[in-house]
Amino acid sequence: MASAEYRELLERVRELSTLEQVAGILTWDERTYMQPGSAPDRAKHNAAISGIMHERLASKEMGRLIRSLKKQELSADGAVILRAVERKWRIASSIPGDLVKEVSRTQSLATNAWVKARAESRFELLGPWLEKMIGLKLEVAEHAGYEDRPYDALLDEFEPYAKSRDIDAVFARLKHKLIPLAARILDEPGFDALVPKGKYPVAAQRGFVAGLITDMGFNMDRGRIDVSAHPFTSGACRDVRITVRYDEADPSYAVFPAMHEAGHALYEQGFPEKYYGTPLAEAVSMSIHESQSRLWENMVGRSRPFWSFYYPKFRQAFPAFKKMPAASFYRHVNAVRRSHIRTDADEVTYNLHIMLRYDVERALFDGELKVSEMPSYWNELFEKYLGIPVPDDARGCLQDIHWAAGSFGYFPTYALGNIYAAQLWDAAKRQVPDLDERIGAGDLNALLAWLRRNVHRHGKRYDASGLIKKATGEGLNEDHFIGYLKEKYGALYGISL
Amino acid sequence: MASAEYRELLERVRELSTLEQVAGILTWDERTYMQPGSAPDRAKHNAAISGIMHERLASKEMGRLIRSLKKQELSADGAVILRAVERKWRIASSIPGDLVKEVSRTQSLATNAWVKARAESRFELLGPWLEKMIGLKLEVAEHAGYEDRPYDALLDEFEPYAKSRDIDAVFARLKHKLIPLAARILDEPGFDALVPKGKYPVAAQRGFVAGLITDMGFNMDRGRIDVSAHPFTSGACRDVRITVRYDEADPSYAVFPAMHEAGHALYEQGFPEKYYGTPLAEAVSMSIHESQSRLWENMVGRSRPFWSFYYPKFRQAFPAFKKMPAASFYRHVNAVRRSHIRTDADEVTYNLHIMLRYDVERALFDGELKVSEMPSYWNELFEKYLGIPVPDDARGCLQDIHWAAGSFGYFPTYALGNIYAAQLWDAAKRQVPDLDERIGAGDLNALLAWLRRNVHRHGKRYDASGLIKKATGEGLNEDHFIGYLKEKYGALYGISL
């Protein structure tokens, strides 16, 4: 029987979760329906909600409860919840309120500066803000604490319990294998897979992707699909809301962001009912979240079995595609190109974009790189990894909002997500031997059931590394990702990789 | 120079306002885009936000600040803010938390029961819940305090400082004049003003009403217009969001809810910039709010000058209306009918529906009427006021959600709003002698400017009665409303009223 203190902790945890859900709805609204003139008011709403959450999380009562419960015998569930709450409480109560506010204020000003800097491709407009932000984030790291490097404290915010020394090792191996592999693929002649010319109405595209994500298992009775400039997933508990962007000249364009965001959404909607409102119904980390989105987007959505079932449906929705053979369409959705912009990158080159960013931010926080040297360091690495020069900073180190927003330590989770996705995909195929056939027959539920059982139902019970070991039998291993690329692109180009 | 305590009060007031704005966005979302399956989660969000608001409003610190500031010399603005906050604080801190929760729980259960009772027209399904709710509300009234009757404490929630004895007097006079006047109009033969048959696309209707409310002065850069089953206005500060409902068979249908809700919205968007977040940027009361919506909907939107400008535009948007002469259209939008449903009622009979509800709820709270006798009392009054029998309780005392939701004391504010609207309209016409001509020339700004100056800019500086005296030179007076009806409908029917 749970103690009164444990019940009080649960009540506080649930209230914090509820406030986080409210913030999720506000974020969704801000990026979909809120009119631009209301942005200053919305900033106040966000500040009020996060201020109240911080006040309640870092409160003395919370500290008292946590210290007392640590001495008590808790159930397995209780121990998971306590560990997750203690982690958040420790971080929240270690960082002074004034520093939190200063970071938040600097984020607003720096992202404004970034918008202008990127538009005009002038790094000097952003540089001083990045210096300030890095200084503040180093302070945050000192308060939060770390073992090896200040950077680890920042990484920990997005990827709990991860260490940069482990990421260094896996990225070094991945880089070593991926740079020549990508170069080999990129050196092959490209395909001329032209999309039939036409204007494909958004309503028909929305119908197709809504049907598809419903087939995936997305619960449309609770969640939504809308439009925004940059696709994202937000919401509250099982009220998960995803957004996509449509290209009226190419209806295949929206399919991949839709499957990506639906992959995130299936995770959020897939925790055990009774745990919602607690860390047992929360994602492990950003990398595990990303493994879910990338698995559906790439391993499923860009596969032959998937399109063998869905291309006929796609052609029904967009009859002009009857002119485009299935093989050409498959090549079209798997085109590999040298490109400057991360968000446009294909699955072969994407991790190179990420590892470059990781190298840059690690060097900045280790004091090995000055902010003023960042553009030239970026450009040098870019040519080394991708094989083409960077034409300007707008298409170089100014392209992403993350650093201006103070999100150092976020980028590596994208690549970790890709690696984990390949590991999970291999494990699922081993355990469900006819998985490809099922997907080819339009049955996406076999994969979802496997993910529910091996990933979703655990919530935060394990950390990322523990979860992957349990689900796949081994820890972080880039070989599955490399093997996946070799097999797929070898077959596609008819070359041996 | 403001004292530190006053600054602290302002900070607390602004935080409460911010939370109320967040609740406004959640309400809007709930009634527009949220999927039905997420209703239970949303109930938790609402409970968390209102719980935090109550905790902060009824806190000891708030009481301490208020008591201390009452002894200090404040600016005129400061005195208004203090009075408004003290009022809310006194009510919040006088009602026990358990009672608040019990009312809230009963509201949910009673409104569920009401949905079923109305659908099946079975009063006995709702009766016991109404009895329970009335009991709880009587308890609330005892805690909140009142001068004459418990009912006044409930009325005060929607119409601060109003007393039922004043409403009794004005409703008695209004009833005495309106019942025979309405009967006289209703006895005239109706008009056969047939709307041209066709399917009028929602997109075109939306375009027309969006243009119209922009002409009225609605700030679309901050607010929105969407669709919901029951039109409403919600939002956050100047991010005011209105909804309408479209009838694809009659594009004039949406014009009136749009103008009604835009009338509410212009009030919310029209407070002085610097006061947002304080009671000086809040509506006086529900009746004053309703005066704004009804003035735009009826005095402007159902007037000849308005349509002399807008009917040509309306016909451009819906060319089939070229078959319908302007005079027929004007009669169509001013049709007066005996009807059972309040929300369908025209401006002549509407107040009779309201006064009936007021009579019923007053009798319930004065202990003169048992809940079980309510249907027969309703039916008896209905035939007396409207001249037709009530066919069943679904179209009788079960039609509105208000009582099941515990909103006793809300109904009279609708009729007060209509009376105030007519008073403001007369005052505006006196002070802007060419107002009709301006509206006929498509200039809606003259009226808005008058309302900004005489109503909006004051926020909660005066109570309803004080504001109306200041704006019109006299207190609540139903004669303006009666005079407005006589003049308009006398001319329309060519009879002397």
Contacts of A42 in chain B (CB under 8 A): 236, 239
Q: Interhelix angle for B39-57 vs B4-32, to 10°?
A: 170
Whether residue B388 is predicted with pLDDT greater than 90 in this model: the reply is yes
CB pairs under 8 A between A and B: 91
Q: Using CA atoms, how far apart are residues A293 and A265, in angstroms rounded to an integer?
A: 8
Q: Are the Cβ atoms of A37 and B222 closer than 8 angstroms?
A: yes
Which one of B54, B239, B273, B275 makes the best mutation probe of the A interface by having the most chain A beta carbons within 10 Å?
B239
Residue B41 C-alpha, separation from nearest chain A C-alpha, in angstroms: 8
Whether residue A1 is predicted with pLDDT greater than 70 in this model: the reply is no
Whether residue A367 is predicted with pLDDT greater than 90 in this model: the reply is yes
Burial of B148 (0-12, 13-18, 19+ CB in 10 A): exposed
Q: Is B35 on the interface with A (CB under 8 A)?
A: yes
Catalytically annotated residue among A11, A30, A55, A261: A261
Q: Using CA atoms, how far apart are residues A491 and A493, in angstroms rounded to an integer?
A: 6
Q: Are the Cβ atoms of B37 and A224 closer than 8 angstroms?
A: no
Whether residue A224 is predicted with pLDDT greater than 70 in this model: the reply is yes
Listed in sequence order, the residues at least 6 apart from A405 whose beta carbon sits closer than 8 Å to its beta carbon are A107, A110, A111
Residue B191 confidence class, pLDDT cut points 50, 70, 90: confident
Q: Are the Cβ atoms of B224 and A37 closer than 8 angstroms?
A: no
Tokens at residue B330, please?
């004007």
Residue A194 confidence class, pLDDT cut points 50, 70, 90: confident
Catalytically annotated residue among B55, B120, B157, B261: B261
Residue B342: the pLDDT is 96
Contacts of B44 in chain A (CB under 8 A): 18, 21
Residue A15 C-alpha, separation from nearest chain B C-alpha, in angstroms: 7
Q: Which amino acid is at A361?
A: E
**Residues paired with residue B224 on neighbouring β-strands, in sequence order:** B241
Mean pLDDT of chain B: 96
Q: Are the Cβ atoms of B15 and A219 closer than 8 angstroms?
A: no
For residue range B420-463, what is the model confidence (pLDDT) as tens digits? Answer: 999 999 999 999 999 999 999 999 999 999 999 999 999 999 99
Residue B193 confidence class, pLDDT cut points 50, 70, 90: confident
Of residues A21, A35, A48, nearest to B239 (C-beta): A35
Q: Using CA atoms, how far apart are residues B415 and B411, in angstroms rounded to an integer?
A: 8
Residue A105: the pLDDT is 86
Interval B16-36 mean pLDDT: 95
Residue of B nearest to A269 (CA): B38
Q: Are the Cβ atoms of B239 and A52 closer than 8 angstroms?
A: no
CB-based contacts of B378-382 (< 8 A; 24+ apart in sequence): B381/B356, B382/B340, B382/B356
Q: Is B210 on the interface with A (CB under 8 A)?
A: no
Residue A21 C-alpha, separation from nearest chain B C-alpha, in angstroms: 8
Helical spans, DSSP H, in B387-434: 411-431
Interval B241-262 mean pLDDT: 97
Q: Using CA atoms, how far apart are residues A45 and A53, in angstroms rounded to an integer?
A: 12
Residue of B nearest to A35 (CA): B222
Q: Using CA atoms, how far apart are residues B417 and B347, in angstroms rounded to an integer?
A: 12
Q: Is B25 on the interface with A (CB under 8 A)?
A: yes
Interval B137-166 mean pLDDT: 96
Q: Are the Cβ atoms of B222 and A19 closer than 8 angstroms?
A: no
Whether residue A162 is predicted with pLDDT greater than 90 in this model: the reply is yes
Q: Are the Cβ atoms of A26 and B22 closer than 8 angstroms?
A: yes
Residue B1: the pLDDT is 56
Tokens at residue A376, please?
């030239």
For residue range A83-122, what is the model confidence (pLDDT) as tens digits? Answer: 999 999 999 999 998 898 899 889 988 998 999 999 999 9
String of DSSP letters for B273-329: GGGTTSGGGS-S-HHHHHHHHHIIIIIITTSHHHHHHHHHHHHHHSGGGGGS-HHHH
Residue A376 confidence class, pLDDT cut points 50, 70, 90: very high
Burial of B457 (0-12, 13-18, 19+ CB in 10 A): middle
Interval B346-353 mean pLDDT: 98
Q: Is A25 on the interface with B (CB under 8 A)?
A: yes
Residue A397 confidence class, pLDDT cut points 50, 70, 90: very high
> Is the ipTM reported for this complex over the cut 0.95?
no
Q: Are the Cβ atoms of A38 and B222 closer than 8 angstroms?
A: yes
Interval B293-314 mean pLDDT: 98
Q: Are the Cβ atoms of A45 and B223 closer than 8 angstroms?
A: no
Whether residue A407 is predicted with pLDDT greater than 70 in this model: the reply is yes
Listed in sequence order, the residues at least 6 apart from B193 whose beta carbon sits closer than 8 Å to its beta carbon are B324, B328, B329, B331, B332, B335
CA-based angle B155:B157:B162, to the nearest 5? 50
Q: Is the pTM of this model over 0.90?
A: yes
Q: What is the DSSP letter of A148?
A: S
Residue B11 C-alpha, separation from nearest chain A C-alpha, in angstroms: 11
**Residues paired with residue A240 on neighbouring β-strands, in sequence order:** A235
Contact by Cβ (8 Å): A292, A320:
no
Residue B104: the pLDDT is 87
The question of whether A273 is a catalytic residue gets the answer no
For residue range A301-357, what is the model confidence (pLDDT) as tens digits? Answer: 999 999 999 999 999 999 999 999 999 999 999 999 999 999 999 999 999 999 999
Q: Are the Cβ atoms of B41 and A239 closer than 8 angstroms?
A: yes
Of residues B33, B36, B45, nearest to A236 (C-beta): B45
With residue A241 as reference, give the H or E element that holds it. strand A239-244
Instruction: Give residues 75 to 104 of A whose Cβ lies within 8 Å of B.
Output: none
